[in-house]
Structure 1
Amino acid sequence: GRVVALGGRLDDFTAELTETFAEPGSQWQYVSIDTHVIGMVVRGATGRSVPELLSEKVIAPLGLEHAPYYIVDGSGTAFVLGGLNMTTRDYARFGQMFAQGGEWNGKQVVPADWVTASTNPTAPTAEGQIGYGYQWWIPVGAAEGEYMARGIYGQYIYVDTARDVVIATNAADRKFREAG
């Protein structure tokens, strides 16, 4: 937060990180900066910004009601670890597209095999704890096809494909990290 507040580049901060909390592959723990690294890799591989790619590949096909708002660092690079702001209805539209196997209005927006792979609990989380796929959380005791996206302070997209349910919420819960 300090780097960004002072106009710094999140990429520079990320590249300077050298300390680890465990040997690679020995323990899983969600770390937001890892998601930013994914964005750095995508930008490096494509030569395009994440908002540009997301707009072309996902947002335009979904026909969102309002353009997303991105939080950016001092160089104007959009965060990937958070900071994608959309209306609740547009978050729900994104969730519905995933619930439909990546399809929206007859067009395959996200490959169906990616939807399946990304929403399965593949991270080695502790027994009895929330599961994690590829950027999706899987609730404890979830049935197949039940998963969610969650943002800090209470933004959620909950998907239950078996029941054909998608629930999206936006919130400002400053006690998000507290139990209960």
Structure 2
Amino acid sequence: MSFIISLFLIKKMFINFKAVYQSSQIFIMICFLFISSQTRAQDIEATNINKKLNAIRDMPFNTPFERSDINLLNWQHWPYSRYASHHPREFIPMATIHSDPDAPALDESKNDTFNLKKLRVSVDNEKDVLLLDLLKSIQMKGFAVMYGGKLVFETYDQGMQKHDIQILQSSSKTFTGMLIHKLANEGLLDLGANVDEYLPDLDAGVFKGSTLQHMLDMEVGFPDFGSYHKAGDYGYLSEIHLGLKPKGLGVERRSVLSFVQQFQEPTFTAGSKFSYNDMNTQVLAMIAQQVTGKRYAQLMEETFWRPLKARYDGAVAVDEDGNPGASFGMATTLRDAARFGQMMLQRGSYKGRRIIPESYFQSTFDQPLTEPFSTYKLLGQIEDYRNQVWMLRDDALMYTVGSFGQFIFADYDNQVVIVFMANWQSNSDLENNENLLRIVRSIGKQMSR
């Protein structure tokens, strides 16, 4: 009898075990289906974003649009950028960089003394184009030339006016580079130190073995960020955190700090390779805030706007932590950008006042071209990069570079400053970059006659 009861109990246990097993399998399957559905949803979201973005990027420059058509997904691209790039405050959070309301007007010559309206620029061996026509063909919305400390030529297009501020994109980086050198000159920073000296809680291992100088020169081992237009790539995600794109793909809070913290291992030894990456500039700006106890907008005001006697308020993008978009988010008027260029031409001085230490130019422009070289060339020359600024050695040029055609050139041989505020479709159009250099050379030659 006890044997029969034992068999019954074993059978019952087996049935219960089988039921539990089946239930667990069903539970696992449900979890798998849920995860799969979430993954598919993310893939669909990424695909839809890419489809929309690709469509936006393919639109012709002169396509009509309404202000209400512009959003964070399309504001940097044609045709919407015709309006958005010189109204950035309407699309991204920005902190104000206060100007001096009593600052004098920029010295200017209104008579086209150098006859630039009739200047022809050689774009190839068989073709000369009028300067104004060439500027129009490369979607220039603001263009200025300084000579002898005076504004000698300017032109506007696409609705941009003298008081409008254009977002400078990566030309913003040069402001950071100069600021960091100024703080080092004041003894607040050591360019040979590691970021952990100033931001001990940063917890980003990618900076292991690097110095602030490596960050200034873009020689830190970040991985390849891929595409800034492909949802899911690091480049795309970075722009969500920077505020340049709508929230999505799991990003609920725009935080450059949290974005940087995911990079825990360098992909190469610091200083062994040139690798252009916005995050170097972003963290340098955080360091500047940390050692001064001041917000970045205030630092820009005290370092540049007031000493340069800027006439109009500028702006800088900020994320939800209050950290600045130093790598892309500076915005200024054309004329105030020309003041910055004049200071760059005068190696850190403006109207007799020292703004940026001479040591910045000694360690940048005065140094020979050395490895690791940048990966960029223009009309056969290597574009050298140091301290968050670009140089073409054969032409004696120092210049800032920003996406979609934002450039400030200091031509040391001909003592000319040239500012370009353009609205290109992309940065990969080599012909546009080459035409800018042709324009700079032609104007320099015209001035030196």
Larger deviation, residues 147-156 vs 131-140 = 131-140
Gaps of 5+ in 2: 1-238, 248-252, 376-380, 432-449
- The structure number with the bigger radius of gyration is 2
Q: Take 1:140 and 1:101, find their aligned partners in 2: how far apart are those partners?
A: 16
Partner of 2:400: 149
Percent sequence identity is: 26
TM-score under structure 1 length normalisation = 0.88
Larger deviation, residues 7-16 vs 75-84 = 7-16
Residue 122 of structure 1, CA deviation:
5.7
* Alpha-carbon spacing, 1:18–1:36, altered in 2? closer, same or farther (3 Å): same
Q: Which has the higher contact order (CA 8 A, sep 6+)?
A: 2
**Counting helix residues as a fraction of each chain, which structure ranks higher?**
2
Q: Take 1:8 and 1:174, find their aligned partners in 2: how far apart are those partners?
A: 26
Question: Is residue 2:297 matched to residue 1:51?
Answer: yes
Computed over aligned residues only, the root mean square deviation of the Cα atoms, in angstroms, reads: 2.1
Q: Take 1:123 and 1:56, find their aligned partners in 2: how far apart are those partners?
A: 35
Partner of 1:139: 392
1:99-121 alpha-carbon deviations (Å, 9 max, x no partner): 11211122111112223323355
Residue 72 of structure 1, CA deviation:
1.5
SS of the residue aligned with 2:410?
strand
Partner of 1:27: 273
Q: Take 2:266 and 2:422, find their aligned partners in 1: how far apart are those partners?
A: 32
Partner of 2:358: 112
Residue 9 of structure 1, CA deviation:
1.3
* Alpha-carbon spacing, 1:157–1:130, altered in 2? closer, same or farther (3 Å): same
Residue 60 of structure 1, CA deviation:
0.4
Partner of 1:85: 331
8 Å contact kept, 1:102–1:109: yes
Q: Take 2:319 and 2:284, find their aligned partners in 1: how far apart are those partners?
A: 16
Gaps of 5+ in 1: none
Q: Take 1:14 and 1:102, find their aligned partners in 2: how far apart are those partners?
A: 32
8 Å contact kept, 1:149–1:156: yes
* Alpha-carbon spacing, 1:74–1:108, altered in 2? closer, same or farther (3 Å): same
* Alpha-carbon spacing, 1:70–1:122, altered in 2? closer, same or farther (3 Å): farther
Q: Take 2:343 and 2:334, find their aligned partners in 1: how far apart are those partners?
A: 14
Question: Is residue 2:416 matched to residue 1:165?
Answer: yes
Residue 174 of structure 1, CA deviation:
2.3
Q: Take 1:132 and 1:10, find their aligned partners in 2: how far apart are those partners?
A: 24
